[in-house]
């Protein structure tokens, strides 16, 4: 790799609690919405659940040792609300103790802990009170953030409130694809606003407690929404609507303190503004120290039904709720002939460069950026104890090149986290889809660094020497 990144550029890898920990009902942890959703027949492929996952809860010290071997500068993980405050009734010392030990192991290994408070695993007890459709959940989130800060605030400096609120609001409450699996646009829009509110309240709270010693931010999944046929006004408008609902409904309240007016018009029938109380937007638009960007692929958007034989039609987890997003059918996986991953996602590193430059050009208040997730699923094969995942490494390397190009062209990017450290529970896709740079044998839980892990370690080392 020929790029030179600044010396303090942060190289890391990311995971999420429900995807790796297991121990779903151990040491006081109670059901999260993903435990419950995964037990609904047909919700997750093969009926897979997060119950055991990749047993990180028990293998944490070895997993941190592996991170150290790879030379990671940072590890992005999430804490589980249902472990820290089971049923949201009380703070569970045993649950917090796990994260405290994790943080100690990381610091001991010279790895910066990068903590995410919400990566989709709401306590089921709160779902029973309406989940994110209930404004009170935003206040319960602050209680939870406060409990985590009590335990870790002396050692953790980097705090992310939410991971991909698009997924935990619209995709979960409208698309039906993620827990709690609803298909109700009004509920999804309420969830979206209440998650923004929870973010703002938590940033305020953490800032009051930790001041400028803390780095506070949020991670969004952002996409370039490209009309399938730029000459077709219906496709162009569908792309505008996807850009509005998926990108701008998040970027604009957070960075500009207002919701995009075209989207408010699109969703007028749901009376979205009933959820937005006086003062909420000021709370939501707290100054941020960083914005995390997750990017895997762009989206080609069409207002027309899928063509015969399009890979999206074969999607096992497809839900009719998705039709809300553009009113009828739409295509997200592009048909423009690029190579595809095992998720059927296109490989288009230039989309990442374009996205970073667009953010830089559009938002004067944009804080420094971190790529908090980027990576790919491929059908790995374990042969003679090795996984030679050349395609995954090519994907990662090309995206790192795209980040370098964006930086040269003016984007302020400070770090890159590969998704994911370990093969894990890929939500509605269960354990079928492997995103890890480290292979996990599902029977023995053995960890085997893939070629991509070895090459990523090499790149990090090389960069450290040259920077
Ligand atoms: C991320 O989300 C997650 O943060 C991570 O936990 C996950 O493992 C990783 O990526 C890999 O999937 O079906 O057309 O309604 C994934 C990004 C964006 C994928 C929205 C699903 C649904 C769009 N997600 N997309 S649609």
- The pLDDT tens digits for 167-189 are 999 999 998 889 999 999 999 99
Q: Residue 130 has what DSSP assignment?
A: T
In the reported structure, the alpha carbon of residue 46 is separated from the centroid of ligand 1 by a whole-number distance in angstroms of 19
pLDDT, residue 324, reads: 78
What is the Cα–Cα distance from 260 to 252, expressed in whole angstroms? 7
- Out of 29-33, 76-80, 357-361, 460-464, least confident range: 460-464
**Residues whose CB falls within 8 Å of the CB of residue 258, separated by 6 or more in sequence, listed in order:** 252, 281
pTM, 2 dp: 0.96
* 436 within some domain: yes
Give the residue-averaged pLDDT of 130-136.
98
Number of domains in the chain: 1
Residue whose CA lies nearest to ligand 1 atom number 12:
426
Q: What is the DSSP letter of 248?
A: I
Best residue for ligand 1 mutational test, from 18, 228, 294, 374 (most atoms within 8 Å of Cβ)? 294
Confidence of residue 431 (pLDDT cuts 50, 70, 90): very high
Count of residues making up the chain: 467
For ligand 1, the distance from its centroid to the CA atom of residue 246, given in whole angstroms, is 12
User: Once rounded to an integer, what is the mean pLDDT over residues 103-107?
Assistant: 99
- Evaluate whether residue 5 is within a structural domain: no
Beta bridge mates, 447: 440
Cβ neighbour number for residue 444 with a 10 Å cutoff = 7
State residue 315's pLDDT score.
56
Average confidence score pLDDT of the chain: 94
- Residue 331, pLDDT score: 55
| 362 falls within a domain | yes
Helix (H, G, I), strand (E, B) or coil at 464: helix
- Answer whether residue 3 is part of any domain: no
> Predicted confidence band at 313 (pLDDT cuts at 50, 70, 90)?
low
pLDDT digits (tens, 9 = 90+) for 319-342: 566 677 765 555 555 567 789 999
Cβ count within 10 A of residue 85: 24
The residues, any chain, with a CB within 8 Å of residue 233's CB and separated by 6 or more, are none
Residue of 78, 167, 170, 298 best suited for mutating to test ligand 1, as the one with most atoms within 8 Å of CB: 167
Strand partners, 74: 12, 112
- The per-residue pLDDT for 304 is 78
Query: Cα–Cα–Cα angle for 295, 297, 300, nearest 5°?
Result: 130
Distance CA 449, CA 140 (A): 39
Going by pLDDT thresholds of 50, 70 and 90, the confidence category of residue 92 is: very high
Residue 333 pLDDT: 54
Residue 4 lies in a domain: no
DSSP assignment letter at 340: B
Confidence of residue 311 (pLDDT cuts 50, 70, 90): low
Tell whether the model's pLDDT for residue 285 goes beyond 60: yes
Domain contains 37: yes
Alpha-carbon dihedral sign for residues 109, 112, 118, 120: negative
385, 445 in Cβ contact below 8 A? no
- What does the pLDDT read at residue 214? 98
The CATH number of the domain holding residue 274 is 3.20.20.80
Q: State which ligand 1 atom lies nearest to the alpha carbon of 175.
A: 15
C-alpha distance from residue 205 to each of 18, 82, 137, 208 (Å): 25, 20, 15, 5
- pLDDT score, position 301: 84
Separation CA 426–CA 182 (nearest Å): 19
Q: Taking residues 352-358, report their average pLDDT.
A: 98
CA 210 to ligand 1 center in whole angstroms: 32
Atom of ligand 1 nearest to the CA of 343: 12
Which active-site residues does the annotation give?
Answer: 373
Q: What is the pLDDT of residue 289?
A: 98
Q: Give the closest residue (by CA) to ligand 1 atom 24.
A: 167
The binding-site residues of ligand 1, defined as CB within 6 angstroms of any ligand atom, are: 16, 19, 163-164, 167, 171, 175, 177, 221, 294, 322, 332, 373, 419, 426, 435
Q: Summarize pLDDT for 380-417 with one digit per residue, the tens.
A: 999 999 999 999 999 999 999 999 999 999 999 999 99
Overall average pLDDT of the 296-313 stretch: 77
Point out the least confidently predicted range of 185-199, 222-236, 297-311.
297-311
Q: Kindly state the average pLDDT of the residues 367-379.
A: 98
Tell me how far the alpha carbon of residue 80 is from its chain's centroid.
14
Note the pLDDT of residue 419. 98
Mean per-residue pLDDT for 215-232?
95
- Omega cis (within 30) before 180: yes
Domain range for 169 is: 10-466
Query: What is residue 300's predicted lDDT score, i.e. its pLDDT?
Result: 85
78, 116 contact by CB (below 8 A):
yes
Q: Give me the pLDDT at residue 270, please.
A: 95
What is the structure's pLDDT at 319?
57
Q: Which of 233-247, 356-370, 445-459 has the lowest mean pLDDT?
A: 233-247
Neighbours of 3 (CB within 10 A): 16
Within a domain: 112: yes
pLDDT tops 80 at residue 467? no
Give me the phi and psi of 123, to 5 degrees please. -55, 135
Is 434 contained in some domain?
Answer: yes
Which strand (E) or helix (H) includes residue 367? none
State the SS3 of 21-83.
CCCCCCCCCCCEHHHHHHCCCCCCHHHCCCCCCCCHHHHHHHHHHHHHHHCCCEEEEECCHHH
Q: Tell me, what's the pLDDT at 325?
A: 75
ipTM value > 0.90: yes
Taking CA atoms only, the protein residue closest to ligand 1 atom 6 is 16
Q: Is pLDDT at 202 greater than 60 in this prediction? A: yes
Q: If you ran DSSP here, which 8-state letter would residue 385 be given?
A: T
Q: What pLDDT, on the 0 to 100 scale, is given for residue 191?
A: 98
Mutate to test the pocket of ligand 1, among 14, 21, 221 (most ligand atoms within 8 A of CB): 221
Q: Which residues pair with 215 in a beta bridge?
A: 158
Phi and psi at residue 173, to the nearest 5°: -105, -15
How much helix, strand and coil, in percent to the nearest 5, is found in the chain?
45, 15, 40
């Amino acid at each position: 790799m020929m790029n030179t990144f600044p010396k303090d550029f942060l190289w890391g890898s990311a995971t999420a609690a429900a995807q790796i920990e297991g121990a779903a009902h151990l040491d006081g942890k109670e059901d999260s919405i993903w435990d419950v959703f995964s037990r609904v027949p047909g919700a997750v492929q093969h009926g897979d659940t997060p119950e055991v996952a990749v047993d990180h809860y028990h293998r944490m010290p070895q997993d941190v040792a592996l991170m150290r071997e790879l030379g990671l500068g940072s590890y992005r993980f999430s804490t589980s609300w249902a472990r820290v405050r089971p049923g949201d009734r009380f703070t569970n010392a045993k649950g917090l103790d796990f994260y405290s030990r994790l943080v100690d192991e990381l610091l001991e290994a010279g790895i910066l802990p990068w903590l995410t408070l919400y990566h989709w695993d709401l306590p089921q007890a709160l779902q029973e009170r309406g989940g994110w459709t209930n404004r009170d959940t935003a206040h319960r989130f602050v209680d939870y953030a406060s409990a985590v800060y009590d335990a870790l605030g002396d050692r953790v400096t980097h705090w992310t409130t939410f991971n991909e609120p698009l997924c935990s609001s619209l995709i979960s409450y409208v698309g039906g694809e993620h827990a709690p699996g609803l298909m109700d646009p009004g509920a999804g829009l309420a969830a979206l606003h209440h998650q923004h509110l929870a973010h703002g309240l938590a940033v305020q709270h953490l800032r009051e407690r930790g001041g400028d010693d803390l780095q506070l931010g949020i991670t969004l999944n952002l996409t370039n929404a490209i009309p399938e046929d730029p000459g077709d006004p219906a496709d162009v408008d569908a792309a505008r609507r996807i850009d509005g609902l998926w990108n701008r409904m998040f970027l604009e309240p957070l960075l500009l303190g207002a919701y995009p007016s075209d989207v408010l018009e699109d969703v007028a029938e749901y009376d979205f503004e009933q959820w937005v109380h006086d003062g909420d937007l000021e709370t939501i638009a707290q100054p941020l120290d960083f914005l995390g960007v997750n990017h895997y692929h762009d989206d080609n958007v069409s207002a027309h039904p899928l063509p015969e034989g399009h890979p999206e039609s074969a999607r096992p987890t497809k839900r009719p709720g998705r039709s809300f997003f553009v009113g009828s059918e739409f295509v997200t996986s592009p048909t423009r002939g690029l190579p595809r991953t095992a998720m059927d996602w296109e490989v288009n590193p230039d989309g990442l460069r374009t996205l970073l430059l667009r953010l830089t050009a559009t938002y004067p208040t944009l804080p420094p950026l971190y790529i908090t997730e980027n990576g790919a699923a491929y059908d790995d094969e374990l042969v003679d104890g090795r996984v030679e995942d050349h395609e995954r490494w090519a994907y990662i390397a090309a995206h790192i090149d795209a980040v370098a190009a964006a930086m040269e062209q003016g984007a302020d990017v400070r770090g890159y986290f590969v998704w994911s450290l370990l093969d894990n529970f890929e939500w509605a896709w269960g354990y079928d889809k492997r995103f890890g740079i480290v292979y996990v044998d599902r029977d023995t839980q053995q960890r085997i660094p893939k070629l991509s892990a070895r090459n990523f370690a090499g790149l990090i080392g090389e960069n450290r020497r040259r920077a």
